[in-house]
C-alpha cells in the first residue's frame, strides 16, 4: 500500500496532521514508513500544517521579553540621569538591583562606544 492509498483510506489522519494533532512520527509508524519518506510525500502532496500554538506562544513570549528588556533599559537610563534610585527602578522593573546594575553597565558601555 502506498502512502497515497494509506491517506485515502484514512483521510482523518491527514486532517489531524494538518491541525498538528498527531506527529509525523506517529503517522509514519502507522503507515510503516520512515519519517523522512512521509515528510517527502507530504511535501509533494502540498500538505501544509497550520501554525501551531507552541510557535504562536513562542513569538508572544519573545515580544514580552523584548518589551521587558526595553523597560529595564529605560529604567537604567533614568537611574543614570539621577531621576530614580536603583532600589525604586529595580522594584518597578520587577528584578533585582544586581540585574539593573547590569543594564546600567550596558548603557554606560554603549555610551562610551558612541563617544
Map grid coordinates 528588556 to a residue: 69
For the question of whether the overall pTM of this predicted structure is more than 0.75, the answer is no
Residue 62 has a pLDDT of 92
What's the pLDDT tens digit per position in 25-36? 999 999 999 999
DSSP secondary structure, 6-38, as one string: HHHH-HHHHHHHHTTSS-HHHHHHHHTS-HHHH
Residues comprising the chain, all counted: 115
Q: pLDDT class for 37, splitting at 50, 70, 90?
A: very high
Burial bucket for residue 38 (CB in 10 Å: 0-12, 13-18, 19+): buried
Residue 106 has a pLDDT of 95
What's the pLDDT tens digit per position in 49-107? 777 677 778 888 999 999 999 999 999 999 999 999 999 999 999 999 999 999 999 99
Instruction: Read off φ and ψ for residue 68, nearest 5 degrees.
Output: -65, -40
Amino acid at each position: 500500500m502506498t502512502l497515497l492509498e494509506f491517506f485515502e483510506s484514512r483521510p482523518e489522519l491527514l486532517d489531524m496532521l494538518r491541525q498538528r494533532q498527531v506527529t509525523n512520527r506517529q503517522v509514519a509508524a502507522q503507515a510503516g514508513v520512515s519519517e523522512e519518506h512521509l515528510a517527502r510525500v507530504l511535501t509533494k502532496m502540498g500538505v501544509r500544517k497550520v501554525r501551531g500554538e507552541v510557535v504562536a506562544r513562542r513569538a508572544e513570549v519573545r515580544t514580552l521579553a523584548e518589551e521587558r528588556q526595553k523597560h529595564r533599559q529605560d529604567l537604567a537610563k533614568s537611574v543614570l540621569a539621577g531621576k530614580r534610585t536603583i532600589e525604586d527602578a529595580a522594584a518597578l522593573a520587577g528584578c533585582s538591583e544586581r540585574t539593573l546594575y547590569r543594564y546600567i553597565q550596558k548603557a554606560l558601555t554603549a555610551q562610551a562606544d558612541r563617544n
